[in-house]
Amino acid sequence: MSVKILSITLLLLFVCVSSAARHPSRSRMCCIKVTTLNMSPEVVGETYREQAAGSPCVKAIIFNTEYGQLCADPNAQWVKDLTANMMKV
């Protein structure tokens, strides 16, 4: 179980980066990479957020997990299935 938690934590660290350091006026997370790996079991809550592409950020669907925010590929089928039953914020 701890290997799974470590893997998820590392994945979250690699796919999300705070844009606040580069752009002090922004306070939200900025996805610079997305995962296509089905992480739906890790998603918590009933909401998601869309992120538009704009350097260095990439187009992404952002979910909340127990470990932080998850940046997912909006074209992945599991993401489409999950967002169909959630509310966009």
Q: Which residue do the tokens 């350097």 mark?
A: 55
pLDDT tens-digit readout, 38-87: 999 999 999 999 999 999 999 999 999 999 999 999 999 999 999 999 99
- How far apart are the C-alpha atoms of 7 and 41, rounded to whole Å? 14
Going from the C-alpha of 85 to that of each of 49, 56, 63, 81, 82, the distances in angstroms are 13, 29, 13, 7, 6
Q: Which residue do the tokens 């940046």 mark?
A: 71
The pTM of this model reads: 0.73
Q: Which CATH class is domain 3-88?
A: mainly beta
Q: Where are the domains of the chain?
A: 3-88
pLDDT tens-digit readout, 5-52: 545 544 544 445 444 334 445 556 699 999 999 999 999 999 999 999
